Amino acid sequence: MKLNIAVLPGDGIGPEIVAQAQKVMDAVAVKYNHEIVYTNALVGATAIDKVGNPYPDETHEVCMNSDAVLFGAIGDPKYDNDPKAKVRPEQGLLAMRKKLGLYANIRPVTTFPSLLDKSPLRLDIVEGADFVVVRELTGGIYFGEKGRSEDLKKAFDTCTYTTEEIERILKLAFSYAGKRDKRLTVIDKANVLATSRLWRETAQGMEADYKDIEVDYMFVDNAAMQLIQWPKKFDVMVTENMFGDIISDEASVITGSLGLLPSASVGVHTSVFEPIHGSYPQAAGKDIANPIATVLSAAMLLESLDLLEEAKAVRDAVNQSLDAGVVTEDIAKDDNVSKTSEVGDWLANCI
């Protein structure tokens, strides 16, 4: 099979970690007889610095022509905490989501036994947690009309959702649940918001089509509590954009393995695979960043192209590296610390 992969390394540690994922994918290509063509493109602060736009048209073209996008991370301190800055890296991210129609962000949250002692939760609470957060990514208050009154003393944001938008992501969530433990939690604020009531009605209307899935509904404030109290009770959670931003980030820290968690943003035109963690600028260029989350994102990428055996080989390699203690300093148990590039080499070798 021939794969066209767009590679958007982005800022900070992005280039280093993406390079390791490519090494691993190259090893997969050799072993399973695929051809991978990579096309690099600019995104984020790097793109602002070079061409004045965090998601340039050329980058969009590269993505549109790809089977999948491998993404690093974006964000640079010089643009942080400055809500008034004219162009910000995040705008590139939002433009990319909208233009590629990346309507669903998928975040599997799993625990790694060797990392459980890094969890802020008690072992008995978190051990064995294994769920997926499905976040709507191109609608809601992120993309609704927004602005300021003329005297600047009043601001507004609008959250909108259509039945179609809601059905599309719920279908995806139901299908994830179908492949897992067959339980779906729809998170909303239907006791307050009109959009949430539309979400709930739409989901209720779809229940009959998925008789094997057990659906429950939870208010977002309650979900924020239960995620900490009983993370093991969840299988698939699905929610709108803003709630998903909060809930999926909350979910990502409970296992202590934030640095290892991958994500997929499923799109209409192509899909984007990236680690959950940020661009970690302090570590950039030092060959110390943990590449595992990006490597596992590559596994999700392979899976999305139905290369299931290949994806499994990548996951197995990751588990072996963790068992063997071939890891970067952030998760090392002793003085035995590997560099970013060494972990990448080791994983590629394992394939």
Residues that bind ligand IPM (CB under 6 A): 90, 93-94, 191-192, 221, 245
> Does residue 154 interact with a copy of itself by CB under 8 A?
yes
* 38 is known as an active-site residue: no
The correct pick among 254, 295, 300, 301 for binding a copy of itself (CB under 8 A) is 254
The response to whether 97 counts as a known ligand-binding position is: yes
Q: What would the x/- binding string for a copy of itself be over residues 196 to 225, using CB under 8 A? A: xxx-xx---------------x--xxx-xx
Which residue from 70, 26, 17 is spatially nearest to 291, judged by alpha carbons? 17
User: How would you write 215-265 as a 3-class SS string?
Assistant: EEEEEHHHHHHHHHHCHHHCCEEEECHHHHHHHHHHHHHCCCCHHHCEEEE
Minimal distance in Å, beta carbon 157 to ligand IPM? 13
Bridging pattern class, strands 68-73 and 35-40: unpaired
Within 158-177, the residues that bind a copy of itself by CB under 8 A are 158-164
Contact at 8 Å (CB) between 244 and 251? no
Q: Which residues are bridge partners to 215 per DSSP?
A: 184
- Distance (Å) of CA 193 to CA 160, 196, 337: 11, 5, 50
Residue position matching structure tokens 């975040």: 107
Q: What is the size of the binding site for a copy of itself (CB under 8 A)?
A: 60
Residue position matching structure tokens 């110390």: 288
The amino acid present at 125, given as its one-letter code, is I
* 142 is known as an active-site residue: yes
The response to whether 221 counts as a known ligand-binding position is: yes
The response to whether 212 counts as a known ligand-binding position is: no
**What are 174's two structure tokens?**
């139901």
Burial bucket for residue 212 (CB in 10 Å: 0-12, 13-18, 19+): exposed
Within 85-124, the residues that bind a copy of itself by CB under 8 A are 88, 90, 94, 119-122
> Does residue 147 interact with a copy of itself by CB under 8 A?
yes
* 212 is known as an active-site residue: no
In the complex, which residues of this chain contact a copy of itself (CB under 8 A)? 81, 83-84, 88, 90, 94, 119-122, 125, 141-142, 144, 146-148, 152-164, 189-198, 200-201, 217, 220-222, 224-225, 228-229, 242-243, 245-247, 249-250, 252-254
Active site residues: 142, 189, 221, 245, 249
| Binding-site entries for substrate | 97, 107, 135, 221
